[in-house]
Amino acid sequence: MEFTKMHGLGNDFIIVAGEPKLPENAAELAIRLCNRYTGIGADGLVYILPSSKGDYMMRIINSDGSEAEQCGNAIRCVAKYVYDHGMVSKDEVVIETIGAGAQKVQLTVEGGKVSKVRVDMGEPILNGLQVPTTVDADPVVNHPIEVDGREFRFTAVSMGNPHCVIYVDDAVNFDLHTWGPKLETHPMFPKKINVEFTTVKTRDFADMRVWERGAGPTLACGTGACATLVSSVLNGLTDRTATISLKGGDLFIEWNEADNHVYMTGPAEVVFKGTL
């Protein structure tokens, strides 16, 4: 199996193209290959597959073998891969996902290679039951949740996959390992959840750290950055465009008032290629 190791702001993936469909043993492969000690090492295994709704379809298997409905960093990597490998020759591609449908991706090309990717992430889902949470409200904003005697308040957003955004005093130094897994598996989230701990600095800048469902702490989460901006607008903390600063770098996020779509702009990088 030929693969390419790629990352978006340190959120890293094993990219595989050329398969006609998702292999039946994809979950087992992801667990084995994503292991950072005995495998290639990655947050997820990504397959680029044929699509009836776009140029290509993306399927993402997390490092624990579960499947993610969508991934903002992975879709940037996939878009760069298909252009740089001559699988498309246009600067706008459509990538199909299982959670957010077909998404339009704009490519900035320099020297024949993609240097920056802007993704139309679609409309955020704010209905609590559809995110999903057990909270029957639309939207779910600043809602209390108790974990081990500590109360947090979260705002729920789906970007094709579920997120809860929690505001803390210092996101950069927040104890992800203690609170992330407990919130991810809380009964209030029937399909588990991605958790973003956020500190808003100004109307156009926020720090965010993420505990990803199925992967744990990662250096970046594109859909999480989108959810963070949407949440911050709903809570009156930021404007509709802002830089979301993650451990691996910054993403520029826009929540367009005209079409209600969220747009994400950021890089994607190749690390190395190999044959397994």
pLDDT tier, 182 (very low <50, low <70, confident <90, very high otherwise): very high
Question: Which among 34, 71, 164, 226 is annotated as catalytic?
Answer: 71
pLDDT tier, 70 (very low <50, low <70, confident <90, very high otherwise): very high
Say which residues have a Cβ less than 8 Å from residue 74's Cβ, sequence separation at least 6: 8, 11, 13, 44, 46, 58, 60, 68, 222
Tokens of 136: 């029957």
Question: Which among 34, 77, 221, 226 is annotated as catalytic?
Answer: 221
With 0-12 / 13-18 / 19 or more C-beta atoms within 10 angstroms meaning exposed / middle / buried, residue 67 is middle
Known catalytic membership, residue 226: no
Tokens of 19: 């398969």
Residue 68's pLDDT is 95
Averaged pLDDT, 46-71: 97
Residue 24's pLDDT is 97
Residues 251 and 263 sit within 8 Å (Cβ to Cβ): no
Known catalytic membership, residue 221: yes
Q: What is the pLDDT of residues 166-180, one digit of tens each?
A: 999 999 999 999 999
